[in-house]
Structure 1
Amino acid sequence: MIRADHLRVPRAHSRAAVSVTLALTLAVGLVLAGVVVLRDRASASHAGGCHRFAADHAARLRDVTGSGRSVVVIGDSWSVGYKLTDPARAWPSRLPGRVRVDGFSGSGFSAHASSCGAVSYATRTRTARNADLVVVEGGLNDFDQPYAAVRSGFDRLVSRLAGHDVVVVGPAPAPRRLAGARRVDRWLAALSRAAGIDYVSSIRLRLPYLPDRLHLTLAGHREFGDFVARHLPA
């Protein structure tokens, strides 16, 4: 018969097991705490980014430039002049007419191109109510969106701009999103053709980009703006 005292775990071994358990518990706790902190920081950073984009959007809406026919540009960070020292010198400043810019960084044709809420192009057509010409520029932020989402957003946009002269300017070949830009360019070209809307493809343009390989330099804005201006109806 086995004696009961033979089954007892040595006290030193028991203390070691407890120490290991406590250490593992503490480590797991620290990891979880770190995840929460990182998540909170990411959330705060995202909220801060959206707040900045909204402020830039409001500022650009107030800055109407030029004279002549009323032109409204609905677009993304390129139209806003994101990362430029003087955003007012972004590409829309190269267009003829009295130009008003309704641009929201990160937005696009599809509803979920931006994670900042309801800021897709179709939600901002009210700005164009009395415009003589509406220029809709973008597609780079739709680079990872499915065709159905881009088509749905495009259809809503066109429906809300019914009765206006509209020109759609597709995405340029920004190196950071080149494959997606090419795909969206094909989609927008076909959708515009089906809707009877003028489409300007910029996918073959060679433009100078900032180090982020996504946004234009000031020279790039000049080139892009002059390109768009040449393709607008008289």
Structure 2
Amino acid sequence: MPAARTPRSRVSAWLTVLVAGLVAAIVVVGFWRPWATPAATVAAGAGDAAVPLTPAALELPENPTVLIFGDSWTYGSAAAAPTLGYAYVVAQLAGWTTIVDGVRGSGYLKPGIDGPDFGTRIAALDPALDPDLVIVQGSINDRKLPADGYRAAVDAAWDDLATTYPRAQIVILGPAPQVLPVEAATARIDRDLAAAAAARGWWYISPLMQDWITTDNYAAVIDTGIGRFHPTTLGHRYLAERLAAAVGALTR
């Protein structure tokens, strides 16, 4: 028995529907741009709709001064020497002068081993530093504390930071996973920080969403022994490379 054939008119109609569907999909993806950094949302007045706004490209001078503020990862924990930590190495890679302010164990809510919480530390920063760029890293250290009050602590700390350095451009570097799979509380912190940064029109870099640390490179990047789940020396260099590339991509 000969194979059944679809009438030519039906084939033409089916192709028309298919092409139309593909065009619509391309338009939707082009508008959504899942590969792009999420747009910030600017709060509108009462009765007005929120206006999406992509953060402005960073404008940095040649050899900028960059304050890198964070926790033990910024301190350089588990590197052969703290000065081999990512916050120091990125200066060599990117041509920056970095001012490194890392306190082990600290977070927006949690006091650290060598100093207080982020908000208290930011309030004590020297305005005379006058950096061109401030990068605030982390922190996973708040993951074991209740979520209540977290966003308020973040907003208060960032308000002080913007007031202390009104000329500086600010980039938020979210938490990176010290264990895989990523802990639910770490993912929640990442989402909270991303939303807070978007509300201000600040750039947010998410090592979680950008897969900086995966099952393929975890053993090389993270010291699970004496380093107590901090980056190895090679891991710190890898993080410095990723950070330099990420900031470079945001720079005019």
TM range (shorter): 0.5 to 0.7
Following TM superposition, the consecutive aligned residue runs of length 4 or more in structure 1 with deviations greater than 3 angstroms are 115-118
Partner SS for 2:148: helix
Structure number with the higher helix fraction is: 1
Q: Deviations over 1:145-191 (max 9, x none)?
A: 23333212211221112223111101112117722211111111111
* RMSD of Structure 2 on Structure 1 (CA): 2.2
Partner SS for 1:161: helix
Q: For the structure 1 residues 156 and 140, does the alpha-carbon distance in structure 2 shift closer, same or farther, using more than 3 Å as the test?
A: same
Deviation at 1:108, TM superposition (A): 1.0
Higher radius of gyration, 1 or 2? 1
Partner SS for 1:99: strand
Matches within 5 A, 1:122-137: 122-125=119-122, 126-127=125-126, 129-137=129-137
Q: Are 2:225 and 1:205 equivalent residues in the alignment?
A: no
Read off the aligned partner of 1:205 and give its amino acid letter.
W
Q: Are 2:205 and 1:192 equivalent residues in the alignment?
A: no
Deviation at 1:116, TM superposition (A): 4.9
C-alpha distance in structure 2 between counterparts of 1:118 and 1:82, whole Å: 15
2:158: which partner in 1? 158
Would you say the 8 A contact 1:174–1:181 is kept in 2? no
Deviates more, 1:197-206 or 1:125-134: 125-134
C-alpha distance in structure 1 between counterparts of 2:85 and 2:195, whole Å: 28
Deviation at 1:218, TM superposition (A): 1.1
TM-score by length of 1: 0.64
2:140: which partner in 1? 140
1:85: which partner in 2? 80
Deviation at 1:123, TM superposition (A): 2.2
Deviation at 1:205, TM superposition (A): 1.9
Could you tell me which of 64, 73, 81 is aligned with 1:69? 64
1:34: which partner in 2? none
Uncovered stretches (5+) of structure 1, i.e. residues with no partner: 1-66
C-alpha distance in structure 1 between counterparts of 2:116 and 2:242, whole Å: 26
Q: For the structure 1 residues 121 and 150, does the alpha-carbon distance in structure 2 shift closer, same or farther, using more than 3 Å as the test?
A: same
C-alpha distance in structure 1 between counterparts of 2:232 and 2:185, whole Å: 21
Q: For the structure 1 residues 118 and 195, does the alpha-carbon distance in structure 2 shift closer, same or farther, using more than 3 Å as the test?
A: farther
Deviation at 1:88, TM superposition (A): 0.4
C-alpha distance in structure 1 between counterparts of 2:242 and 2:135, whole Å: 13
Q: Are 2:97 and 1:98 equivalent residues in the alignment?
A: yes
TM-score by length of 2: 0.60
Q: For the structure 1 residues 189 and 68, does the alpha-carbon distance in structure 2 shift closer, same or farther, using more than 3 Å as the test?
A: same
1:47: which partner in 2? none
Q: For the structure 1 residues 127 and 85, does the alpha-carbon distance in structure 2 shift closer, same or farther, using more than 3 Å as the test?
A: farther
Uncovered stretches (5+) of structure 2, i.e. residues with no partner: 1-61
2:246: which partner in 1? 231
Q: Are 2:174 and 1:170 equivalent residues in the alignment?
A: yes
Partner SS for 2:222: coil
Would you say the 8 A contact 1:78–1:215 is kept in 2? yes
Matches within 5 A, 1:215-226: 215-226=230-241
User: Which structure exhibits the higher relative contact order, with contacts defined as CA atoms closer than 8 Å and separated by 6 or more residues?
Assistant: 2
Would you say the 8 A contact 2:140–2:186 is kept in 1? yes
Deviation at 1:117, TM superposition (A): 8.6
Read off the aligned partner of 1:197 and give its amino acid letter.
W
Read off the aligned partner of 1:68 and give its amino acid letter.
N
Instruction: Calculate percent identity across the aligned residue pairs.
Output: 30
Read off the aligned partner of 1:180 and give its amino acid letter.
A
C-alpha distance in structure 2 between counterparts of 1:223 and 1:217, whole Å: 9
